[in-house]
Structure 1
Amino acid sequence: MMVVRRAKSDGGGTITFFLALGAGRQTCRLATTYQTQKQAFSYFQKHRTEFERIARTRLTSGELEDGIVVLSML
């Protein structure tokens, strides 16, 4: 899995990660509410398995936005 961090102007950000699907990859984007990317990335790393499970479920059910699985932190 590869992870890319991006900051947003409102203090939140997005973490983009890729699910391995055999030889292919699926782009997933996680919107964060943390004030720093370090906090968001730390939370993501602790709960990565759960985010991957949710992303796979959404992919299977066809819940995509422009071909990307979109998730958000509560």
Structure 2
Amino acid sequence: MAMGRIVRRAKSDGSGTITFSLALGAARQICRLTTTFQTDKQAFSYLHKYRTEFEQMARMRLASGELEDGIVVLSML
């Protein structure tokens, strides 16, 4: 399986959702992470702290075809 990494240009839409790209070689996969944090700063901090785990989850969902409109959807518990 191709190695991936989260591209640093993550952004928030202001409604508890962070969008980021998972780099898969030269390709990029858009991922959406729904959060329960009160602030973007808290959500981004959590995303970066657990980056490896989110990368693994995103790759597994991508490999199994679990996409919504071509986007990997993840949620923070």
Does the TM-score normalized on the shorter chain lie above 0.5? yes
Q: Percent identity?
A: 70
Count how many residue pairs are aligned between Structure 1 and Structure 2: 70
- Deviation string 1:45-71 (CA, Å, 9 cap, x unpaired) is 100110011000000000000000000
TM value normalised by structure 1: 0.89
Alpha-carbon RMSD? 0.8
TM value normalised by structure 2: 0.86
Deviation >3 Å, runs of 4+: none
Structure with the bigger percentage of strand: 1
The CA distance in 2 between the partners of 1:21 and 1:44, in whole Å, is 18
Q: Name the counterpart of 2:40.
A: 37
1:21 CA drift (Å)? 1.4
Q: Secondary structure at the match of 1:7?
A: coil
Q: Secondary structure at the match of 1:28?
A: strand
